[in-house]
Every structure is written in structure tokens, then in C-alpha cells.
Amino acid sequence: MDRRGFIKNSTLASSLFFIPSFVRAFENIAANKLGFKRLVIIQLSGGNDGLNTIIPFNNDIYYRERPKLAIQKKHTLKLSDELGLHSSLLPLKRLYDEGSLSVINNVGYPNPNRSHFRATDIWQTASHSNEQLNSGWIGRYLDQFSEQSHNAIEIDESLSLALKGERKNGIAVKNPRMLYRTSQDPYLKNVLNHYDDAHLNEHNLGYLYKTMIAAESSATYIYETSKTIKSSQDYPNFGFANQLKTTAQFINSGLDTRVYYSSLNGFDTHVNQPNIQKRLLNIYAKSMASFVDDLKSQNTFNDTLILTFSEFGRRVKQNASNGTDHGSANNVFIIGGQLKTPGLYNNLANLNDLDANGNIKFEIDFRRIYATVLKKWLEVDDSKILNTDFNQLNFI
């Protein structure tokens, strides 16, 4: 190319960067990471009352069994001729209307356990109710298909069983700056600088060294990568909202993390349920709306799938303390920009046909949802992680 041609093309290339749409196009390519798909898991800990979340406002049995707790039709956000959302979930109604929310009803498993700890273990490990597993389903995903601890992050100070594998664990990060500073502690650095192959060959000590090395490496990577992005999105002043804000920062910075895990506690509503659940669902919905808007602003929403579950639902009949006791089957929310079956995925179970304990009978095994996410979204062999072949669903 001659001098004149070089100058002409250089001038053209330089001028394009002053055109906002051109700059935006390059930003979009970077932010999208060329279709890098992420899964965000939200646990509503304590057993959210699904029957007062997705409300059968025309069902006489619902009102008969819950004379004080049942939510009147006029106070629900109508989804169909039979079902409506709790009014605190108004921010989710927008997602529902635009086709970004799928509600899967009657999700559970055979022979359900109503202990918080055991039920949580079952959901986090994807085990049968009579089976004890020491590894979580995301941890086994890391074992099979991942190289780094930061490929799965829990936004917390401690790691749930869900992210613990047989050979690899995810990493817990509440504040990336604090984690990085801790990892740079001189004493820790000195310990890591003096390990040798002999240590690595000792089972317990070797595992400890490997874990420390992986944590130090992940802490540096997470901090250095995520500090390049600062969200301009307004979030409500909730601790849960801050978890999602941190998650959005990680996603929008292009962190090569596949799975994020967060939780919102307090759903064990044996007493005074209406006020407690109203407050918690308000926190969940407003935080989620800000999170989705944050992802949309950086064009990462379409490559993010959000799964919300609770370890069990509540009994159909209210108790004597203006609350509900531990139940079994519940609803699961799937939020994303690429849903094949948005809206109500299935109908609510028959309230005239309950199990022996007065609970909604499960229709969809929760592991079918996991299998669908693993196969269709994360694009891995779900049977290697779940140890069983489950028929997949059609929500993505």
C-alpha cells in the first residue's frame, strides 16, 4: 500500500472510533464473550411458600384451607385465568410479560424429606432421598468439565455443598478486593513458596497445598479482571441485592466463570407468614429486576440463565400460628432471554389430591431441570454429573 492509501485507510479507521455505534459494537463483542453461557443459581432458603407465590386465586380448596393466609384475587398479579403472582413480585411481572420468565410448578422428588438440612443437601447434591452424597452437582460439574476453582463462584464467605466436588471445589467470594488482599498475606505467600513435590504427594497436606494454590490464583484473577467494570445500575439497599450486583460485575467484566450461586434466607415461615414472605419476596423481586437490567445494559442477559429454587414448599393447610409448616413440592423460576417455553410451564397440581401429609404431590423431578440446564445450556453430558439419565424438559 502506498503512503496516500495508508493515510486514507488509517484516517478512516481512526474516525470510526468516534462513532458511538461503532464503539458500542466492539463493546458488545467483548461483553458477550462470543456466546459464553452462564448459570446463576438462587436459593430461597427456609422453604418458600410456593402456594402463596404462584396463587390459585379461583380455587375454593385454597381459600378453605387457608382462611387467614390465602391471598385474595384482587391482590394478585394475574398470569392466567387460574394463577397469579404475589403482589410483591411486581418487578417479575414485567419479565413474565416480555417472555423472560418461565414458572415450573410441582417440582420435587420421590419420598421427600422435610428437614431443612437434609432437603437442602438433596437439592445441592442431586441425590435420591435415601442416598447420601458428599459432592454437589456443581462440584461434580467442576470435576468433569472445568480447570479452575473460579469456574464456579458462590457470592458468600463460605462454600455450599453444591459447589464442592470430589476433586475440585468452587470458590466463595463476597468481596473480591478483600479476598485478593487476604491471598497476598506475606505469611500465606511464604507457605506457598515453600511447598514441594513431597508435600503434594502426601494426601492431606497435598490437598491443602493444592487448594491454597488454586485459591490464591483465583483470587488474583477474579480481582484483576472484575475491577475493570463498575456498574452504573441502581440496586436497592439489600444484602441480597449486593450479592447480585457483585455477580453482575463478574459477568459483565467477562470473568470466565460458568456458574454463580447466591441465597436469600428467612423463608421458614411457621409464624406470621404474610408479613415475612411479603418482605422477602419484595427483596428478591426488586433485586432481581436490577440485576437483569444491569445484564441487559451490557448485553450479557441473553447468555445468562437464572434458576431460583427453595428446598421445599409449605403444607397446603395453614397452621395455628398464622403460618405454614414444611411441605414438599414447590415452584421453580427460570429467568433468561432465550426461553423456549416462557410463562407457565405447567399447571398447578390438584389441591384435591394431596399426599398423606397434606402436601402438593410432585410432578417434575428437580433433577430433570438440572439435566436440562447441563445438557442444553452448559452443553455437557448431564448423566456423568447426575449419575442417572433424566428426561429433559423444554424450557430452553
Q: Is residue 225 part of a domain?
A: no
In our burial notation (b when 16+ CB lie closer than 10 A, e otherwise), range 69-98 reads: bbbeeeebbebeeebbbbbbbebbbebbee
Q: What is the CATH number of the domain that holds 285?
A: 3.40.720.10
How many CA atoms lie within 13 Å of 338's alpha carbon, on the beta-carbon side?
Answer: 15
pLDDT for residue 149: 82
| Per-residue pLDDT tens digits for 100-152 | 999 999 999 999 999 999 999 999 999 999 999 999 999 999 999 987 889 99
Contact 271, 323 (CB under 8 A): yes
Kindly tell me the burial class for residue 186, based on how many C-beta atoms sit within 10 Å of its own C-beta (0-12, 13-18, 19 or more).
exposed
Determine how many CB atoms are found less than 10 A away from the CB of residue 333. 23
Neighbours of 59 (CB within 10 A): 18
Q: Is residue 183 one of the residues assigned to a domain?
A: no
Identify whether 193 is part of a domain: no
13-43 as b/e, with b when 16 or more CB fall inside 10 Å? eeeeeeeeeeeeeeeeeebeeeebbbbbbbb
Q: Give the pLDDT score at 218.
A: 78
Provide the number of structural domains found in the chain: 1
In a domain, 211, yes or no: no
Where on the phi/psi map is residue 99: left (φ > 0), alpha (ψ -120 to 50), or beta?
A: left
* 199 located within any domain: no
Residue corresponding to grid cell 431460583: 308
pLDDT less than 50: residues of the chain: 1-34, 198
* pLDDT tens digits, 330-344: 999 999 999 999 999
Q: Is residue 24 part of a domain?
A: no
Q: Domain of 310?
A: 34-175+235-386
Question: What's residue 20's pLDDT?
Answer: 43
Considering only CA atoms, which of 337, 328, 335, 322 is closest in space to residue 364?
Answer: 328
Its pTM stands at: 0.87
Residue 388 to residue 274: CA distance in whole angstroms: 39
Q: How many CB atoms lie within 10 A of CB 326?
A: 21
Q: What is the pLDDT of residue 177?
A: 79
